[in-house]
Structure 1
């Protein structure tokens, strides 16, 4: 799924799309919640899903994408991202305390 910076979650909103306001078109897309159900892991579905998403983004006119919520220790997801040439760009930390 792609998220444009015009604030909509859609697969049809992009720089070459007429359903997104032109003054808020983004050239960077965001892929969120990337993974597969345990019953279907190890079959190459993550790679196929990511490659299909990248192709769709290019067709819509996006120039780049961010893949978020990829935990540092999630080797299966990180290896797929590295396979398609993605590189870590930002790191976020979660902190917790008792209230």
Structure 2
């Protein structure tokens, strides 16, 4: 489902302080945007050990920990339909890994790949990643 401009702007404002430009990638053809891949440092690593306390001194530990993050998380990747299966998704992964290594990261997590998304699963496997978590979503009618 494509995001609206307002949704994109809202997300961008919230992520601005943690986005590393080298792992936030965009693809264009003739000046027209056709896709993007957004990865961010795994801030959970920085939050670990704060015991839920940011104030009064946890903020300083958080700032120190932010410099020691070793993992990035590929949050979202998207291509318009006509460019899917064109290799651009593989290029996104390649440059995310390459640029991530150059920035000092040693691990990446590719999250939220649906079970039936065979093309994305194939790309993930081709770059050497392995599934290590599975999520289930359950629903129940309330009426």
TM-score (norm 1): 0.78
> What is the root-mean-square deviation in Å for CA atoms of aligned residues?
1.8
Alignment of 1:22-33 (within 5 A): 22-24=64-66, 25-33=68-76
Alignment of 1:1-99 (within 5 A): 1-6=38-43, 21-24=63-66, 25-99=68-142
| 8 Å Cα contact 1:31-1:65 kept in structure 2 | yes
| 8 Å Cα contact 1:28-1:63 kept in structure 2 | yes
Q: Look at both structures and tell me which one has the larger radius of gyration over its CA atoms.
A: 2
Runs of 4+ in 1 over 6 A off after TM superposition: none
Which structure has more relative contact order (CA 8 Å, sep 6+)? It is 1
Give the aligned length: 87
| 8 Å Cα contact 1:35-1:77 kept in structure 2 | no
Structure 2: gaps (5+ residues): 1-37, 45-61
Higher strand share: 2
Higher helix share: 2
- 2-side partners of 1:69 and 1:41: how far apart? 18
